[in-house]
């Protein structure tokens, strides 16, 4: 049953408690759990880390009346993020986890693009999707050629491993990464939730690549992470720019909490592992408590009715499922699109500034092209195509 | 149920196979990657240097290798600490706790032995030498296997087996290097340690074989409880 937002008060903050033992639970099984359990874990960690990023920004730009409640909620979110992120087992190499991150970026972004009511925003998602799709191909080549492993062990055949918009042409001048924001007064609640969700996933991916890139000894791996982390930074720039910057801090806080409720609820409804499902249920109740607090502060300080920014009920959840056909159709129709300013344009109208920028960045070689030179995914390894 | 293979996917496996025909890869092959590695290799700096004062000739190699043994025996003690916990969690594993503890303590004594030798030769046993650093990188996976609550005793013993096989070869090498450096006193002490390590290897091999057989008798792999 969907929570009736303005009626369900969730768990009050003072009852949201943890212990260190509670934070560190049994990880999922890399081999036995469904790939979408891992996808949900990664997505929800991203949602919580975005909550942190927002909360710290808000605390730096507001006075004590918000700093304390932000700190109180943030402490709980810290522990939510920990419990969730620690569910990834240590038998995942950082590169295998990377494959899972790209599966999130592909299948969740595709689902969002399919269900996004705003045509322009849907195009923005499809545009980003084809870039993450290409990252999957490049990282799969690296996984095969560096660790001798098959990316499909992680993907479980849900997600294709094919070239997308080549990573080497994804490098753009900053002005070509900014998009037009939705209008906070006109946008559908689902559009706002989509934007927050994908922005959260991308900022987490960016941070993850920045942290694990230097853990590799192999210079080719270090170069590839450097290159793709740069694109993830562009994606964060893109997705944060679609959010209306005239939303007040408190409006944004309420929407962040709403987004957390929405996504935990979606995870809860679709989770196949009962132990993980219980975590989603628990945290959905916690988020309703956070939402309640943010609403009270919104109404108190802004003297506005929260009904003007909240939907009466939660929209349908983002589906966690293979989006292979949608991705293939998008690939066939839009792989040659480029960004010029805020618009997606044919390759012939590509931005001169972006062309100049990428020529500079690629002038000493392209890590993504090098790592995947001649690479075709095959079950087990590309070696099967060569040895047979 | 293991879901990592293509046979467990419904129609996904067939769709994945379409990827082979659909892929138009960038030109070249995996040697392109090797070329970049080669460029970096040609300009690489070493891992680090041997602490000053650097002894001359073979003595410098010996000092570096002593640093490696020091690091390995210290980490090896910790590997055994982790194995003891693993065995305590599975009382039916058949590894005698006392013997395991004895092996662990000998690793710790070898650590002390090598530390004293470095000091006697004028070196600094608190410093990390290049070979010690590399040995630490090599051992990272072993410790991950041993401390993961999910791994079985057999899997943990296999990790110890990897360590002990390396350790045996390394002690042989150390005895030889010490002989070349002309330090007969150390040769004798190191030869005794090498003999003890040979016993470790034999015991671990035996326990490992026994654990694998026991797993086979119990049915392949552990059945995983839900969640």
| DSSP output for A106-140 | HHHHHHHHHH-SSHHHHHHHHHHHHHHHHHHHHHH
Q: Is the peptide bond before B53 cis (omega within 30 degrees of 0)?
A: yes
- Regarding beta strands A343-345 and A338-340, do their DSSP bridges make them parallel or antiparallel, or are they unpaired? antiparallel
Distance from the Cα of residue A218 to its chain's centroid: 27
Does B23 sit within 8 Å of A376, measured CB to CB? yes
| CB neighbours of residue A192 within 10 Å | 25
Q: Helix or strand or coil: residue B65?
A: helix
Answer yes or no: is A276 within a domain.
Answer: yes
Q: Pick the residue from chain A with its C-alpha nearest to B41.
A: A219
User: Which residues on B lie below 8 Å from A380 (Cβ)?
Assistant: none
Q: Is residue A2 part of a domain?
A: no
Question: What is the domain range of residue A213?
Answer: 32-387
* Beta-ladder partners of A340: A343
SS3 A345: strand
Contact call for A90 and B20, based on CB within 8 A: no
Return the pLDDT at A87.
98
- Evaluated on CA atoms B156, B157, B160, B165, the torsion sign reads negative
Using an 8 Å Cβ cutoff, are A228 and A138 in contact? yes
Please report the sign of the dihedral spanned by the C-alpha atoms of residue B91, residue B93, residue B96, residue B101.
negative
Query: Coil, helix or strand for A218?
Result: coil
Residues of B in contact with A26 (CB under 8 A): 149, 227
Residue of B nearest to A153 (CA): B4
Instruction: Mark yes or no for CB contact B17/A379 under 8 Å.
Output: yes
Query: How many inter-chain contacts (A to B, CB under 8 Å) are there?
Result: 124
Write out pLDDT tens, residues B14-43: 999 999 999 999 999 999 999 999 999 999
Check pLDDT > 80 for residue B223: no
Place of tokens 């690939």: A331
For A311, other C-beta atoms within 10 Å of its C-beta total: 16
Quote the tokens at residue A98: 């990377």
Beta strands in chain A (DSSP E): 338-340, 343-345
Q: Which token pair is B40?
A: 């970096």
Q: How far is A69 from chain B (nearest CA, A)?
A: 35
Q: Is residue A21 part of a domain?
A: no
In a domain, A121, yes or no: yes
Give A385's contacts in chain B (Cβ within 8 Å): 20
| Cβ contact A133:A170 at 8 Å | no
Asked, for residue A17, whether it belongs to a domain, the answer is no
Which residue is associated with the tokens 């490696």? B68
Query: Is any Cβ of chain A less than 8 angstroms from the Cβ of B43?
Result: no
B17 at interface of A, judged by CB pairs closer than 8 A: yes
Residue A370 lies in a domain: yes
> By the CB < 8 Å criterion, does B89 face chain A?
no
pTM: 0.96
* Option in A32, A367, A371 nearest B3 (CB): A32
Distance from CA of B143 to the nearest CA of A (A): 11
Distance CA B213, CA A153 (A): 28
Does A218 contact B22 at a Cβ distance shorter than 8 Å?
Answer: no
For residue B36, list chain A residues with Cβ-Cβ distance below 8 A.
219-220, 223, 365, 367, 370
Burial of A113 (0-12, 13-18, 19+ CB in 10 A): buried
How far away is chain A from the Cα of B34, in angstroms, using its nearest Cα?
9
SS3 A343: strand
Beta-carbon separation of B12 and A156 below 8 A: yes
B32 touches chain A (CB under 8 A): yes
pLDDT the model gives residue A365? 96
- 3-class state of residue A81 by DSSP: helix
Residues on chain B touching A372 (C-beta within 8 angstroms)? 25-26
Q: Is A89 within 8 Å of B12 when comparing Cβ atoms?
A: no
Q: Which helix (H) or strand (E) holds B103?
A: helix B97-120
Which of A91, A145, A375 is closest, CB to CB, to B25? A375
Q: Residue B225 pLDDT more than 50?
A: no
| Contact status of B4 with chain A (Cβ, < 8 Å) | yes
Contact yes or no for A152 and B6 at CB 8 A: yes
Residues in chain A closer than 8 A to B150 (CB atoms): 27, 29, 89, 91
Q: Tell whether B217 lies on the interface with A, counting CB pairs under 8 A.
A: no
Residues of B in contact with A218 (CB under 8 A): 37
Q: CA nearest B26 in A: which residue? A: A373
User: What is the phi-psi region of residue B182: left when phi exceeds 0, alpha when psi lies from -120 to 50, beta otherwise?
Assistant: left
Indicate the domain borders of chain B: 58-217
Answer whether residue B218 shows pLDDT above 60: yes
Residue A153 maps to a domain:
yes
Q: For an interface test with B, which of A143, A158, A225, A373 has the most B Cβ atoms less than 10 Å from its Cβ? A: A373
Distance (Å) from the alpha carbon of B191 to chain A's nearest alpha carbon: 35
pLDDT value at B173 more than 50: yes
Q: How far is B52 from chain A (nearest CA, A)?
A: 27
Domain count, chain A: 1
CA A81, A82, A88 angle in degrees (round to 5)?
100
Q: Do B20 and A377 touch (CB under 8 A)?
A: yes
Which of A150, A374, A381 is the best residue to mutate to test the B interface, defined by the most B CB atoms within 10 Å of its own CB? A374
Using the Cα atoms of residue A43, residue A45, residue A48 and residue A49 in order, give the sign of their dihedral: negative
**List of chain A residues whose C-beta atoms are within 8 Å of the C-beta of residue B82:** none
Rounded Cα distance between A212 and A9, Å, is 39
Residues of A in contact with B148 (CB under 8 A): 89-91
Taking the Cβ of residue B46 and every Cβ of chain A, the question of whether any pair is shorter than 8 Å is answered with no
In chain B, % of residues over pLDDT 70 = 96
Q: Torsions phi, psi of A351, nearest 5?
A: -70, 130
Our measurement of the distance from residue B167's CA atom to the centroid of its chain's CA atoms, rounded to an integer in Å, reads 8
Angle at B135 between CA B133 and CA B140, to 5 degrees: 100
Angle (CA) A261-A273-B92 rounded to 5° is 140
Residue A13 lies in a domain: no
8 Å CB contact of A365 and B36: yes
Q: Chain B: give the shortest CA distance to residue A158, in Å.
A: 6
Q: Per the CB < 8 Å rule, is A376 touching B25? A: yes
State the pLDDT at residue B222.
Answer: 52
Measure the CA–CA gap between B185 and B162, rounded to whole angstroms: 29
The backbone region for B218, taken as left when phi is positive above 0, alpha when psi lies in -120 to 50, beta otherwise, is: alpha
Residues A197, A202: Cα–Cα separation, whole Å: 9
- At the topology level, CATH places domain B58-217 in Ferritin (1.20.1260)
Task: Write out residues in chain A with pLDDT < 50, as ranges.
Answer: 1
């Amino acid at each position: 049953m969907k929570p009736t937002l303005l009626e369900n008060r969730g768990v009050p903050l003072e009852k949201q408690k943890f212990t260190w033992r509670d934070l560190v639970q049994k990880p999922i099984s890399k081999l036995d759990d469904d790939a979408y359990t891992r996808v949900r874990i990664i997505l929800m960690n991203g949602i919580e880390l975005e909550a942190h990023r927002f909360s710290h920004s808000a605390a730096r730009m507001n006075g004590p009346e918000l700093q304390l409640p932000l700190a109180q909620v943030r402490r709980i979110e810290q522990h939510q993020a920990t419990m969730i992120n620690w569910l990834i087992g240590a038998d995942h190499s950082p590169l295998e986890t990377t494959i899972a991150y790209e599966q999130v970026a592909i299948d969740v972004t595709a689902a969002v693009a399919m269900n996004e009511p705003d045509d322009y925003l849907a195009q923005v998602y499809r545009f980003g999707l084809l870039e993450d799709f290409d990252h999957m191909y490049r990282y799969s080549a690296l996984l095969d050629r560096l660790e001798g492993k098959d990316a499909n062990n992680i993907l479980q055949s849900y997600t294709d491993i094919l070239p997308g918009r080549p990573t080497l042409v994804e490098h753009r001048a900053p002005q070509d990464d900014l998009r037009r924001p939705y209008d906070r007064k006109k946008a559908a609640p689902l559009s706002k939730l989509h934007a927050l969700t994908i922005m959260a996933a991308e900022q987490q991916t960016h941070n993850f690549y920045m942290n694990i890139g230097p853990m590799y000894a192999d210079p080719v791996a270090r170069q590839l992470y450097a290159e793709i982390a740069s694109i993830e930074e562009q994606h964060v720039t893109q997705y944060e720019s679609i959010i209306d910057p005239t939303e007040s801090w408190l409006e944004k806080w309420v929407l962040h909490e709403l987004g957390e409720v929405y996504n935990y609820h979606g995870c809860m409804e679709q989770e196949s592992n009962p132990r993980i499902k219980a975590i989603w249920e628990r945290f959905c109740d916690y988020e309703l408590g956070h939402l309640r607090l943010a609403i009270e502060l919104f109404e108190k300080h802004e003297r506005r009715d929260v009904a003007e920014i909240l939907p009466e009920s939660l929209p349908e959840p983002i589906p966690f499922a293979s989006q292979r056909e949608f991705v293939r159709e998008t690939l066939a129709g839009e792989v040659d699109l480029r960004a010029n300013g805020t618009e997606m344009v044919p390759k012939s109208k590509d931005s001169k500034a972006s062309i100049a920028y990428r020529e500079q960045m690629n002038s000493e070689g392209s890590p993504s092209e090098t790592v995947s030179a001649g690479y075709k995914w095959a079950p087990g390894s590309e070696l099967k195509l060569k040895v047979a | 149920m293991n879901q990592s293979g293509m046979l467990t996917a419904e129609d996904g496996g067939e769709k994945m196979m379409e990827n082979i025909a659909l892929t138009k890869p960038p030109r070249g092959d995996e040697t392109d990657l090797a070329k970049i590695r080669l460029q970096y290799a040609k300009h690489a700096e070493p891992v680090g240097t041997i602490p000053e004062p650097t002894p001359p000739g073979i003595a410098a190699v010996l000092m570096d290798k002593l640093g490696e043994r020091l690091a390995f025996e210290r980490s090896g003690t910790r590997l055994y600490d982790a194995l003891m916990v693993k065995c305590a969690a599975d009382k039916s594993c058949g590894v005698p706790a006392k013997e395991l503890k004895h092996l662990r303590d000998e690793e710790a004594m070898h650590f002390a032995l090598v530390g004293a030798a470095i000091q006697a030769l004028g070196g600094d046993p608190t410093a990390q030498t290049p070979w010690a650093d590399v040995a630490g990188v090599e051992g990272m996976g072993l410790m991950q296997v041993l401390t993961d609550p999910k791994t079985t005793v057999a899997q943990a013993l296999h990790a110890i087996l990897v360590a002990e096989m390396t350790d045996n070869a390394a002690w042989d090498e150390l005895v030889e290097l010490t002989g070349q450096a002309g330090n007969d006193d150390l040769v004798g002490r190191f030869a005794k340690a090498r003999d003890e390590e040979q016993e470790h290897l034999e015991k671990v091999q035996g326990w490992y074989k026994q654990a694998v057989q026991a797993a086979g008798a119990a049915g392949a792999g552990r059945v995983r409880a839900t969640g």
